[in-house]
Amino acid sequence: MPTELDQRYDAVLAAVTGPGGRVVLGQDEQGRTIVSNFPATLPVFFKTFCALNGQVEAVVAGEERLTFAELDRVSDELARALVGQRGIGKGDRVGIAMRNCPSWVVSYMAVLKAGGIATLLNGWWQSQEMAHALELTSPTLIIADRQRAERIAAICGPWPIVSLSVEQPLSAALQPLLGQGALADVALPEIVPEDDATILFTSGSTGEAKGALSTHRAVTTGVYAYATGLMCLLGIMQSQGNPPKNPPRTLINVPLFHVTGEVPVMLNSFVIGRGMVMMPKWDAGAALELIAREKITYFVGVPTMSLELMTHPDRDKYDLSSLTDIAAGGAPRPVSHVERLQQSFRGAQPALGYGLTETNAVGCSNFWGNYAAKPASTGRAQQPFVELAILGRGDVQLPAGKPGEVAIRSAANIKGYWRNPDATAAAFTADGYFKTGDIGYLDEDGYLFIVDRKKDIIIRGGENISSAEVEAACYACESVGEAAVFGAPDERLGEVPVAVVLAAEGTSLGEAELRAFLESRLAAYKIPARFIFADGALPRLGTGKIDRVALKARFAA
């Protein structure tokens, strides 16, 4: 039976999307729900919402403070420079490889205004990982901060790189791109909703990262799914005589190259006029200080981050009363954390989101009292945009209570994987559902419970790690004879990778040697937290493959 909160939410949603409501719904050519009265392309999206929220403080980065109007003006100038001086044309991939900073936001806006495809490169990758993504997408230009520019230059590829000093104020940081030329007469291209907009990278069970390609329609629909949800929650608060006491502000503490940072955090902030306070990298103590000083109202991060806020020794030194929502995404939040959050931050409500890179973060949400009542659930589908299905054999949809593969159908779904038609075909059902690889079931109220994963993916503090990729890196070491990698439970990070290794015959191999070998090939978060060295052949299945399940049962604890 629906909770009282669900009934309130559904009533407000009906008003928001019904006759005379703020959100006018329509359908795309595939019959999926879209918003028809909001911009369907990102250049018009930025123009519209930067005008509506022009004088609102949009970005705070150290001493620098920029309004939405200033972001729009500077990104217009940069877009013309990209077209007029760099020759960026419609459909060209432009890589962005920077830490969180104002230059990242403006570069993203400018690439899309110039008609390019914003290709969001993982700033934690090492050279080999970066090389794969660049060879896959062949960017016309890469915009990077100094640290990542040096890492990319070491690959010696054919891609032009412009290095920015992002620690400087925005106008100075962008000078290598803006140059001195006259730009006012440069025309920007016309963009339609079906044009390609972004490529984000996702680790699959087969190893190397795939490029998830989204259209402008998909990205904007993802944003509006979150914005509509916030409109409903605001309506509930107002109906209860409890409107927000502070203007909305969020901490940008998750990487902007991740879909969580990009869509529900950054882009959604344009729609709702929410200030964004930048963190160059995560630090719980610095986050507490910023929450207090900047009156942050909304915090979202992987569960590890909220746990570190709860347990930080300086937490009680700061006034955190502005914080009203503490959300998590990217990884499951342990059930035990929910009650601890409520006790630690009594003025803030917990929430959890479920979505994927391939769905532009859209999927399910669980919030407030509903989350406290069902802390093991990722919540209900984000209505009216998401169709949720549990699939059995032959992609047959299963009834409530029956576990199967979770599948999502939405206009926010990606177009496909860049230059990988086989992976694209395997990821979608004939009727357009994206198959997530997660195993779950729906209860009688439509709440989704994830119980397992179909793919060999490890989620470490919100970062997806392919077991196959880490194993391949191990095998690159000549002293490794056999290797198997699996996820083991971890209270802080959710999961960590563990490697079971058999040294090659006639060699000796220790943890320090193998760890040092992997550090030059894998991002730090992919390197196993534990190495177990076997004294005999690893167990195998009848197919001849190493039996990861048996090894995990034996060694995960």
Looking at 143, 175, 191, the residue that finishes a domain is 191
Please tell me the total count of domains within the chain.
3
Per the listing, tokens 């959300």 go with 327
275 neighbors 247 (Cβ within 8 angstroms): yes
**Judgement on whether residues 430 and 525 belong to the same structural domain of the protein:** no
Q: What's the rounded mean pLDDT across residues 207-224?
A: 94
Gap between the Cα atoms of 56 and 175, Å rounded: 25
Q: What is the pTM of this model?
A: 0.88
* Residue 255 in domain: yes
- Name the nearest CA neighbour of 164 among 121, 104, 111: 104
pLDDT digit string (tens) for 251-264?
999 999 999 999 99
Q: Pick 532 or 179 by higher pLDDT.
A: 532
Kindly tell me if the per-residue pLDDT of 205 is higher than 60: no
Neighbours of 395 (CB within 10 A): 16
Distance CA 223, CA 205 (A): 27
In a shared domain, residues 302 and 387: yes
Does the bond joining 255 to the residue before it have cis omega, within 30 degrees of 0?
A: no
Strands (E) across 404-547 are located at: 404-409, 416-417, 434-442, 448-453, 457-460, 463-466, 480-490, 494-503, 530-533
pLDDT at residue 537 in the model: 86
Label residue 127 exposed, middle or buried (CB < 10 Å: 0-12, 13-18, 19+).
middle
Domain boundary among 402, 433, 453: 453
User: Do 467 and 430 share a domain, yes or no?
Assistant: no
Q: How far is CA 39 from CA 42, 43, 85, 114, in A?
A: 7, 9, 28, 17
In this predicted structure, the answer to whether residue 82 has a pLDDT above a threshold of 80 is: yes
97-153 tens-digit pLDDT? 999 999 999 999 999 999 999 999 999 898 888 999 999 999 999 999 999 999 999
Q: How far apart are CA 25 and CA 13, in angstroms?
A: 12
**Sheet of strand 349-355, all strands in order from the earlier edge strand to the far edge:** 64-67, 57-61, 275-278, 249-252, 298-301, 325-328, 349-355, 363-367, 380-381
| Same domain flag for 377 and 393 | yes
Two tokens at 138?
């062949």
Say how far apart CA 301 and CA 264 lie, in whole Å. Answer: 11
Domain presence at residue 19: no
The reply to whether 20 falls in a domain is: no
Confidence of residue 381 (pLDDT cuts 50, 70, 90): very high
Q: Are residues 67 and 129 in the same domain?
A: yes
Q: Is 206 a domain residue?
A: no
Both 47 and 122 in one domain: the answer is yes
The tally of CA atoms less than 13 A away on the side-chain side of residue 161 is 20
Listed range (38-47, 449-458, 490-499) with the worst mean pLDDT? 449-458
Instruction: Give the pLDDT score at 40.
Output: 98
Mean pLDDT across 297-321? 89
Last residue of a domain, one of 453, 479, 497: 453
pLDDT score recorded for residue 304: 78
**pLDDT tens profile 472-483:** 888 888 888 888
CA-CA distance, 212 to 198, in Å (whole number)? 8
The answer, yes or no, to whether residue 206 has pLDDT greater than 60, is no
Give SS3 for 319: coil
Maximum CA extent, the chain: 77
Instruction: CATH number of the domain at 463, please.
Output: 3.30.300.30
Confidence of residue 207 (pLDDT cuts 50, 70, 90): low
Q: Is residue 89 part of a domain?
A: yes
Do β-strands 434-442 and 298-301 pair in parallel, antiparallel, or remain unpaired? unpaired
Same domain, 31 and 119: no
**Least confident interval from 25-39, 117-131, 302-316:** 302-316
Contact 333, 303 (CB under 8 A): yes
Please check whether residue 12 lies inside any domain of the structure.
Answer: no
- Is 545's pLDDT higher than 80? no
Q: Does residue 13 lie within any of the structural domains?
A: no
Within this chain, do residues 154 and 178 fall inside the same structural domain, yes or no?
Answer: yes
Whole-angstrom distance, CA of residue 250 vs CA of residue 233? 16
Determine the pLDDT at residue 226: 97
Domain that holds residue 542: 457-555
Considering the chain, what is the average pLDDT of its residues? Answer: 92
User: How many Cβ atoms sit within 10 Å of the Cβ of residue 316?
Assistant: 10
For position 471, what pLDDT does the model report?
85
pLDDT at residue 408, rounded to an integer: 98
11 is a domain residue: no
The Cβ-side half-sphere exposure at 377, using a 13 Å CA radius, reads 22
Q: Which of 40-49, 59-68, 328-337, 371-380 has the lowest mean pLDDT?
A: 328-337
Which residue(s) pair with 485 in the sheet?
499
Q: 429 with 491, same domain?
A: no
**Based on the domain organization, do 54 and 145 belong to the same domain?**
yes
Alpha carbons 171 and 199: distance in angstroms, whole number = 26
Tokens matching residue 476: 């690159």
Q: Domain holding 122: CATH number?
A: 3.40.50.980
Same domain, 372 and 445: yes
Q: What is the pLDDT of residues 329-359, one digit of tens each?
A: 766 677 767 777 878 888 888 899 999 999 9
Which tokens hold the place of 241? Answer: 């005589």
Estimate to the nearest angstrom the gap between the alpha carbon of 469 and the chain centroid: 20
254 and 341 co-located in one domain: yes
Give dist(CA 446, CA 429) in Å, integer.
21
User: Encoding tokens for residue 366?
Assistant: 């669980």
